Structures are given as C-alpha cells and as structure tokens.
C-alpha cells in the first residue's frame, strides 16, 4: 500500500513539470512582443522596456523559465500588470467563492447522480430507467449557461426564491452562503450529474450480474443491502474515476457560471485577466487550476485502495 502511494506521488511530479512548461510557454506563444501587448498602444519605448525588465523578458528563455519556476515553487507567481498586486493575493481573495461553489456542486451532484444511477440499474429497461436516462441525455445536451439562465428566470425572477446574482461570504453565515450558491450549484450539478448517473448505471448493471450478487440474492438479503453494500461498493472504482475526471469539466463550467451569476471567484478573475491581457494573472490562475486537478486525480488514484482490495501496490 505504501509503495502504491509513493509511486502515485512520484508519477505526479513529471506531470506537474510538463504543465509548468506549457503554462510558461503561453506568453511566448502569443503573436507579437508580450511587453508591447502589455504596455498598450499608447506606451512609449521606455515603458515597454520597463515592463520587459520587470517580467525578465530581456533574459534568455531558459533563464526566464528558471526564474519563473523557482518563484512558483515558492508560491510567488509575480505581480498583476493591471493592479500591481501579487497574483497569489488576487487568487487568495477569490478562492472562497470558487471553492464553495465547487464543493456545493459536488455534494449536490453525488446526492443526485449516484441514487439515480442505482435506481436506473435496479429497474433496467423499465420506466424509471428510461426517465433517468432521458434526464442524463438532457443534461448532456444543454450548456451550463442555458440551464443557469432558465433557473434564474424561474426561481429568481418569477418566484423570487433566490437572488439573481452575487455571492454571500461565509462570514455572513453558512445559510446565507448556501442560499446565494443554490442556483449556480444546481446549474453545474445538473450537467455533471448526467455523466455520473450514466457511469453509475453501467457499473451497477455489471456488478448486479456478478456471482457474489447472485449469491447475496440466494441468501435472501434485502434489496437495499444488495444494492448498496455489495453492488455499489464494487461499482465504486469507475464512479470515483469519472468524478475525478469530470472535475475538469466542473472547473471549466465554473468560469462560465461565475460570469452568468456575477460571482467574484477565480473564474471571473480569469475572464478579467484575459480581457486585460494580464499574463501573470492568467499564468497564475492556470497553474492554480492545473495543480488542483493534479491533486484531485492523485486523491482519486489513492482512493482506489479503499474500494478495490486488489490495489495494494
């Protein structure tokens, strides 16, 4: 088990290094001189040169990467060209809304998708199965911003149950935060749940046809125990895998959702930085999201040992 954990940790190192190289290359892949683009059309040569020195663009590329990577390892992602504030500070200021949105969405998704997938497998080819799969297809078909606008129109504009936009921080109370995040979380969860429900159904159908499940039925065990204790635990590995992989979709949806619901999170920070050509912020945010995704996938790999006894390293 220990060897398995160490192996997964070491495997994440080269992945993170490749991600770092790609993120660093973003500035140099842009057409034109980055310093000129950052300075703007009305900047004089002295201002352009000052930005070039500030971002170390006057150094060889390998030296630039060494400086950038060394600073990144020390959690120094540079300063914003637009606000002159440290990028890590800007991310720290916006991290609460994004993380709360992601956590609430993930909880809602699991509470919706896993039971629906289990029921669909239990009632395979029946009415319940067809309705659940229709929901899954609909969730795949509708973009998250369309679902968001529909929820806003029905539950915010017409029924006035939830706010149209905005975010209440945790210091205002957990209930206030959850109330402000209900609509954006449900909008994201409906898309995410469609994927997990389909995978849960497929995994459960396979598990329900295994010999140990048939033995449990022959012993007269109850339906709930057969579905949850025996079949669902066996089907947990692919479900956990798709949750980890689907987290990338969730992160991408956060950018759109935060713009639709005017949530001051990292997604909004990314959109603003791209609009202003604030490359240090863009690099820092992408690096943050990449590190988060690598961490999530690492935790998913480590969780296999809990669900699959064959994973011992």
State pLDDT tens for residues 125-182. 888 888 988 888 887 777 887 888 888 899 988 998 998 888 898 888 899 999 999 9
Asked if the structure places residue 78 within a domain, the reply is no
Domain check: are 213 and 289 in the same one? Answer: yes
Contacts of 228 by beta carbon, 8 Å cutoff, 6+ apart: 118
Domain check: are 168 and 300 in the same one? Answer: yes
DSSP code at position 79: B
pLDDT tens digit sequence for 212-236: 777 777 777 777 777 776 677 777 7
Global pTM reads: 0.78
Provide the pLDDT for residue 155. 92
Asked if the structure places residue 82 within a domain, the reply is no
Provide the pLDDT for residue 299. 76
What is the tally of structural domains in the chain?
2
Domain check: are 257 and 156 in the same one? Answer: yes
CA 155 to each of CA 158, 164, 176, 177, 183: distance values in angstroms, whole numbers, following the listed order: 6, 9, 16, 17, 8
Asked if the structure places residue 312 within a domain, the reply is no
Domain check: are 19 and 139 in the same one? Answer: no
Domain check: are 33 and 166 in the same one? Answer: no
Of the candidates 21, 51, 73, which is a domain's last residue? 73
Provide the pLDDT for residue 195. 82
pLDDT tens digit sequence for 181-201: 999 989 888 888 888 888 888
Asked if the structure places residue 136 within a domain, the reply is yes
Asked if the structure places residue 38 within a domain, the reply is yes
Q: How confident is the model at residue 204 (pLDDT cuts 50, 70, 90)?
A: confident
Asked if the structure places residue 81 within a domain, the reply is no
pLDDT over 70 (residue 52): yes
Q: Residue 248's domain is classified under what CATH number?
A: 1.10.3720.10
Name the residue range of residue 184's domain.
87-307
What is the mean pLDDT of the segment spanning 61-74? 84
Domain check: are 251 and 178 in the same one? Answer: yes
Asked if the structure places residue 79 within a domain, the reply is no
Domain check: are 159 and 63 in the same one? Answer: no
Domain check: are 149 and 244 in the same one? Answer: yes
Domain check: are 220 and 148 in the same one? Answer: yes
Are 258 and 187 in contact, with CB atoms under 8 Å apart? no
Q: How far apart are CA 233 and CA 227, in angstroms?
A: 9
Domain check: are 203 and 135 in the same one? Answer: yes
List residues bridging with 86 in a β-sheet. Answer: 79
Q: How far apart are CA 167 and CA 237, in angstroms?
A: 35
Domain check: are 43 and 164 in the same one? Answer: no
Domain check: are 141 and 287 in the same one? Answer: yes
Asked if the structure places residue 120 within a domain, the reply is yes
Of the candidates 27, 44, 73, which is a domain's last residue? 73
Q: How far apart are CA 10 and CA 12, in angstroms?
A: 5
List residues bridging with 79 in a β-sheet. Answer: 86
Of the candidates 51, 73, 95, which is a domain's last residue? 73
pLDDT above 90 coverage of the chain, percent: 4
């Amino acid at each position: 088990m220990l060897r398995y954990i160490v192996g997964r940790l070491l495997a994440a190192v080269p992945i993170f290094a490749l991600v770092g190289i790609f993120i660093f290359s973003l500035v140099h892949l842009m057409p034109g001189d980055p310093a000129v683009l950052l300075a703007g059309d009305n900047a004089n040569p002295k201002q352009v040169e000052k930005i070039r020195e500030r971002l170390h663009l006057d150094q060889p590329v390998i030296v630039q990467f060494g400086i950038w990577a060394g600073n990144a390892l020390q959690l120094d992602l540079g300063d914003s060209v637009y606000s002159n504030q440290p990028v890590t500070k800007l991310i720290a200021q916006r991290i609460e809304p994004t993380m709360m949105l992601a956590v609430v969405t993930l909880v809602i998704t699991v509470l919706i998708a896993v039971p629906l997938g289990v029921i669909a497998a239990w009632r395979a080819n029946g009415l319940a199965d067809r309705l659940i799969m229709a929901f899954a297809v609909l969730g795949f078909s509708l973009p998250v911003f369309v679902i968001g606008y529909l929820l806003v129109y029905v539950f915010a504009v017409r029924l006035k149950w939830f706010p149209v936009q905005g975010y209440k921080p945790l210091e205002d109370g957990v209930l206030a935060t959850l109330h402000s995040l209900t609509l954006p979380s449900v909008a994201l969860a409906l898309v995410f749940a469609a994927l997990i429900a389909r995978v849960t159904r497929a995994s459960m159908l396979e598990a329900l046809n295994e010999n140990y499940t048939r033995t449990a039925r022959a012993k007269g065990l109850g339906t709930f125990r057969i579905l949850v204790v025996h079949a669902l635990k066996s089907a947990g590995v692919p479900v956990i895998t798709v949750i980890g992989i689907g987290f990338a979709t969730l992160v991408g949806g956060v950018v759109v959702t935060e713009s639709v619901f005017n949530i001051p999170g990292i997604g909004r920070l990314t959109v603003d930085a791209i609009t202003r050509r604030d490359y240090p912020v863009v690099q820092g945010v992408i690096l943050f999201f990449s590190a988060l995704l690598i961490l999530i996938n690492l935790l998913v790999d480590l969780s296999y040992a809990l669900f699959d006894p064959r994973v011992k390293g």
